[in-house]
Amino acid sequence: EDQVTQSPEALRLQEGESSSLNCSYTVSGLRGLFWYRQDPGKGPEFLFTLYSAGEEKEKERLKATLTKKESFLHITAPKPEDSATYLCAVQDPDSWGKLQFGAGTQVVVTP
Amino acid sequence: DTAVSQTPKYLVTQMGNDKSIKCEQNLGHDTMYWYKQDSKKFLKIMFSYNNKELIINETVPNRFSPKSPDKAHLNLHINSLELGDSAVYFCASSREGGSPLHFGNGTRLTVT
């Protein structure tokens, strides 16, 4: 009953090489989609929340977009410090406060 | 100025032992959570408390028992530890259900 699927599993980028991460979800009646960044040995760090199709959020080199079936996290001109695992999660429609997480995309940006 | 802190960071113990993990948040949030991250990196919710009241209790063995003495603290007690309990356990808090979660840095539990 996978509700959240992220692709690719891993992504290796050269510094400055823009790319996008995908998060597809199957829940109906989306009540919120969250993007987090996780560094090794650390807890996930909140980046964005998106609620409705067409919504976009930006923070520095990151931009998150949302459609009715998926979300994209665009990384523009990445730097080595953008290396991390990026996690997508959706709010469970039946249990307020419960997030369903994807497995994440591990991003490595090399100088 | 740590927002969500949990201790210990590492916990190595033998099968059959009982152990506890402590969590404290200084964000003034009303809701706290325990999540488990397994070897495949999936984060799965275990429990959620709102103002010391249990809200979410996933299908977790009853060897796991959360305790919330006040809304700033949520501890996790694990009895009769098994090899399969080895994982990273994350505490988190949010202003309310549905708000973004703020995570601690995790407790890596290794059961030998």
Taking the mean position of all CA atoms in its chain, how far away is CA A34?
Answer: 7
What percentage of chain B exceeds 70 in pLDDT?
98
Q: Which CATH number fits domain B16-78: 3.40.50.300, 2.130.10.10, 3.40.190.10, 2.60.40.10?
A: 2.60.40.10
Structural domain that includes position A108: 1-16+80-111
Of the pLDDT bands very low, low, confident and very high (cuts 50, 70, 90), residue A2 is low
Nearest CA of chain A to the CA of B17: how many Å?
25
Report the C-alpha gap between A100 and B72 in whole angstroms. Answer: 24
- CB-CB neighbors (< 8 A) of A34 in chain B: 100-101
**Beta-sheet pairing, A105-110 with A10-14:** parallel
> Looking at the complex, does the CB of residue A49 fall below 8 Å from at least one CB of chain B?
yes
| d(C-alpha A44, C-alpha B62), whole Å | 27
Query: What pLDDT is stored for residue A82 in this prediction?
Result: 98
In-domain check, residue A10: yes
Which pLDDT score, from 0 to 100, does residue B1 have? 62
Tell me which chain B residues have a C-beta less than 8 angstroms from the C-beta of A91.
98
Examine the pLDDT at B58 and tell me if it is beyond 90: no
DSSP B35-80: EEE-TT--EEEEEEEETTEEEEE-S--TTEEEEEEETTEEEEEE-S
The span from the CA of B52 to the CA of B45, in Å, is: 17
Least confident piece of the model among A7-21, A33-47, B44-58: B44-58
Interface test with A, best of B34, B38, B91, B101 (most A CBs within 10 A): B101
Which residue, A1, A5, A20, is CA-closest to A107? A20
Q: How do the domains of chain B map onto residue ranges?
A: 16-78
Instruction: Mark A54-64 as b/e (b = at least 16 C-beta within 10 Å).
Output: eeeeeeeebbb
Model confidence pLDDT, tens digit, residues B59-88: 789 999 999 999 999 999 999 999 999 999
Which residues in A lie closer than 8 A to residue B43 (C-beta atoms)?
44, 87, 89, 99, 101
φ, ψ at A12 (rounded to 5°): -115, 125
- Which amino acid appears at position B73 of this protein? H
Asked if A58 reaches chain B (Cβ–Cβ under 8 Å), the answer is no
Is residue A75 within 8 Å of residue A18, measured between CB atoms? Answer: yes
- Residue A60 maps to a domain: no
CB contact under 8 Å between B100 and A49, yes or no, is yes
Structure tokens at B74: 């949520």
The residue-averaged pLDDT of B25-51 equals: 92
- Tally of domains in chain A: 1
**Are B101 and A46 within 8 A, CB to CB?**
yes
Residue A81 φ/ψ, nearest 5 degrees: -70, -5
